[in-house]
Amino acid sequence: MAIQNYERDAALAELQEQGLTVRLHSAEKDTWHIAAGGLYSGYVVSGDELIKLKKANKLNIRGIRSLV
């Protein structure tokens, strides 16, 4: 579990470095709101999905958008 948290945190940090807004959506469900602009736009993704995108080298707004 600790390794998974580390991988998720690394993915979240990478998204923030890209200039994306990252906010916790639900701690219970480990979901995150990722937005490239406005406060009310963006996508909700799980920590597991973020880890998969990072491993596939698709961790960006386009990769997140492709999950929807």
Per-residue pLDDT of the chain (68 residues; tens, 9 = 90+): 688 899 999 999 999 999 999 999 999 999 999 999 776 789 999 999 999 999 999 999 999 999 97
Overall domain count for the chain: 1
Q: Containing domain of residue 25, as a range?
A: 2-66
Residue partners of 44: CB distance under 8 A and separation at least 6: 25, 31, 32, 33, 34
- CB-based contact 33:22 (threshold 8 Å): yes
Predicted TM-score of the model (pTM): 0.89
